[in-house]
Structure 1
Amino acid sequence: MELKDIKKFTLIINGIILVLVFMLAAFFVYCKATFLIWFSIPTALVYVIGYFLIRKDRLEIYTRVVYFWLTLYMCLCTVFLGYRMGFHLYCMSMIPISFYAEFMADKLGKKKLNAFATSGAVAFCYLVSTGYSAANGAVYEVDTTVRDLVWTMNSVITISFMIFYSKLVLSMIGDYEKKLKDVAHKDRLTGLYNRHFMMDEIEKAYKSDKTAFVIMSDIDNFKKINDQYGHNAGDYILVSIANIMREACSDIIVSRWGGEEFLILVSGKEEDQVLAGIEKLRKNIESEDFVFEDRHIKVTITAGVAARTKGQSIDNWISDADNKLYTGKNTGKNKVVF
């Protein structure tokens, strides 16, 4: 989750809490809970100020202020209206959020909230307020029917929030796991799969009953491009070729094998389809107008195609494609060798 997404999410939560404060203020009027009615005014101001803190990217200050005030607010509601109302339940939902806030602050390079200390403080306030209420009773007595209704409402809200929060955390974990896999499996410059990932896929194809081909391709005269136009131009060519391959080979696996070499894995297709596809790719690259800093660069590729054969090892299979690539390199370049 990016900073802008966190801000948007926090603004929504802040708005929801502010609405709840006004709703509870109306409920306090019904209960004739004078102290809580007046206390709702600074509480509402806290969330109005919170809106500006969020907009100014002061999320660390906002988090601390809200945690302090929300804990105080719920404890006072518990003391004045009794623990049977269920306001203390909100304190329990704040504990896991503190760990989420600490995690996100660390990811964004912000000052971290001490989740253990915060959780301990919230739990302490929870125990003190409920213990006091259980021992001394509510300051403002409320009809039992209303009390039970509010307890049910607070329970439903707390449980619903915890379900939503758990879903959010799982989704976040899934996103981070995907990003980690991308970092581990993809080449940083081109965004194509890297050699390590491709080897895993080749092993799967090797064990499969489907037809399989590996295509080793190489950018012709790449060193000359680097020498003549500079390494930035070379990187531009690598990225451009990768994009062309990604678009042309959307249904197969393309990787950056190393340097200016690309390895393509094709499974489940016939020989004529594979050769026609790689020949079309070669022609597309040959006809492409590569322009870097207003300079036109002519680029071609040479490719060697090797079909998986019975009894052949994976290393020999890849070497077969590599040997055919160099046959093409030594016989004029800009061609497909099978």
Structure 2
Amino acid sequence: MVINNLKKLTFIVNIAILLMVFGLMAFFYVIKAAFLVYFSIPTALIYVIGFFLISKNKLYEYVVMVYFWLTLYMSVTTICLGYDYGFHLYGLSMIPIIFYSTYMGRELNTRHINPIPMSFIIVACYLVATLIPYYRGPVYTSETGASTLFWIVNSLIVFSFLIFYTNLMIKGIVYSEDKLKKLAMEDNLTGLYNRHYMVSQLETASGKSSDYYVAMVDIDDFKKINDIYGHNAGDYILKTIAETMKTICDSSLVSRWGGEEFLVLGYDKDEALDKMEQVRRSISEKEFIFESNKIKTSVTIGIAARDEEESIDKWVQAADDRLYEGKNSGKNKVVYRT
């Protein structure tokens, strides 16, 4: 999905640049800058080739080709027309954009340009292209007074590119940070919160209302399911039970505590027994179907209300003790310590 979006973006940018090339070609013809008119032909061809490279997912080759030619184009137009037209400004936009391209290449695990040497090449070309007309004057001069207009237009284009790609960079960074936070918070298999995140929430809850409760949920005879039906079936059971718990305990925090154990952090101890009984009943009545196999299972649940005098470890241990009371007295039941 990301690579397709990147291809679409690159395709749109390529169209925009190609249209600019044709527009500039017409302007060069008007001011009788013959060399630049002819130079626009291979320039247009570069972006036509670009469409082919984009369609073949050769984005690395596209970036290398475009950056080489943009640097050359910036240099040639600045030497020929002078820096009054603002073509040298494109060098300023190229450097942050190449860093963005490198960032995306790393994110997508694809080939990418080393931005440091490329940036130095752009800076060197920028200096040469601006110093030559400064000391020798431009190759072409025009009496049309278009230089100010072109300076404004080129400045607006450069700033537009800078704003656009900087915005993309920020969005990419925020997306990556959110993804890392999600990985740090969630269990990969079930999509529930993981133990590390739940511990942090228990620490937060420990200093608040005494109405909190925790419920330790354990799948009964889970090892037998793995032994008989295989670990893929076990994973299916875990994910399905996780979805059931998320649906029923929608106002609580649900985590995978470890293995076949789940921990629920609820905010109203008065509803704890009814809520967990609903979980137990829903799972015991459900018929799990995996690869044409009908699997029945159940859960045993231990609940402990918050005691302000005890530590988090003892609070969770209290729920775990109730869980094993249930395990040792027949399973498929809810045991509650008020």
- RMSD over aligned Cα atoms: 1.6
Q: CA shift at 1:143, angstroms?
A: 4.0
Q: CA shift at 1:33, angstroms?
A: 1.6
- Matched ranges for 1:57-206 at <5 A: 57-143=57-143, 145-206=145-206
Residues 300 and 333 of structure 2 are in contact (CA less than 8 Å); yes or no, is this contact kept in structure 1?
yes
Q: CA shift at 1:144, angstroms?
A: 7.0
Q: CA shift at 1:121, angstroms?
A: 0.5
| Structure 1 match to 2:3 | 3
Aligned AA (2:84): R
Specify every segment of 5 or more residues in structure 1 that has no aligned partner in the other structure, as ranges.
none
Specify every segment of 5 or more residues in structure 2 that has no aligned partner in the other structure, as ranges.
none
Aligned AA (1:24): L
| Structure 2 match to 1:306 | 304
Aligned AA (2:302): G
- Matched ranges for 1:134-283 at <5 A: 134-143=134-143, 145-209=145-209, 211-267=211-267, 269=268, 271-283=269-281
| Structure 2 match to 1:291 | 289
Larger mean CA deviation between 215-224 and 5-14 belongs to 5-14
Provide closer, same or farther for how the CA distance between residues 210 and 48 of structure 1 changes in structure 2, counting only shifts above 3 A: farther
Distance 1:325 1:143 in 2: 90
Larger mean CA deviation between 101-110 and 72-81 belongs to 101-110
Q: CA shift at 1:123, angstroms?
A: 0.7
Local SS of the residue matching 1:88: helix
Larger mean CA deviation between 109-118 and 315-324 belongs to 109-118
Distance 1:163 1:294 in 2: 55
Distance 1:167 1:320 in 2: 50
Aligned AA (1:279): E
Local SS of the residue matching 1:182: helix
Cα displacement string for residues 106-159 of structure 1 (whole angstroms, at most 9, x for unaligned residues): 333333312111111111000000111211222222347421111111112212
Distance 2:220 2:66 in 1: 61
Distance 2:244 2:25 in 1: 62
Distance 1:31 1:284 in 2: 80
Q: CA shift at 1:258, angstroms?
A: 0.5
Q: Please, which of 317, 320, 326 is the counterpart of residue 318 of structure 2?
A: 320
Q: CA shift at 1:288, angstroms?
A: 1.9
Larger mean CA deviation between 274-283 and 172-181 belongs to 274-283
Distance 1:308 1:217 in 2: 17
Larger mean CA deviation between 222-231 and 204-213 belongs to 204-213
Distance 2:249 2:45 in 1: 57
Could you tell me the TM-score, scaled by structure 2's length? 0.95
Local SS of the residue matching 1:263: strand
Aligned AA (2:297): V
Cα displacement string for residues 38-85 of structure 1 (whole angstroms, at most 9, x for unaligned residues): 111111111111011011011111111000111111111111111011
Provide closer, same or farther for how the CA distance between residues 210 and 87 of structure 1 changes in structure 2, counting only shifts above 3 A: farther
Distance 2:144 2:131 in 1: 20
Distance 2:94 2:28 in 1: 23
Q: CA shift at 1:224, angstroms?
A: 1.3
Local SS of the residue matching 1:238: helix
Local SS of the residue matching 1:304: strand
Larger mean CA deviation between 124-133 and 19-28 belongs to 19-28
Residues 10 and 54 of structure 2 are in contact (CA less than 8 Å); yes or no, is this contact kept in structure 1?
yes
Could you tell me the TM-score, scaled by structure 1's length? 0.95
Distance 2:197 2:144 in 1: 64
Q: CA shift at 1:21, angstroms?
A: 1.2
Residues matched between the structures, number: 336
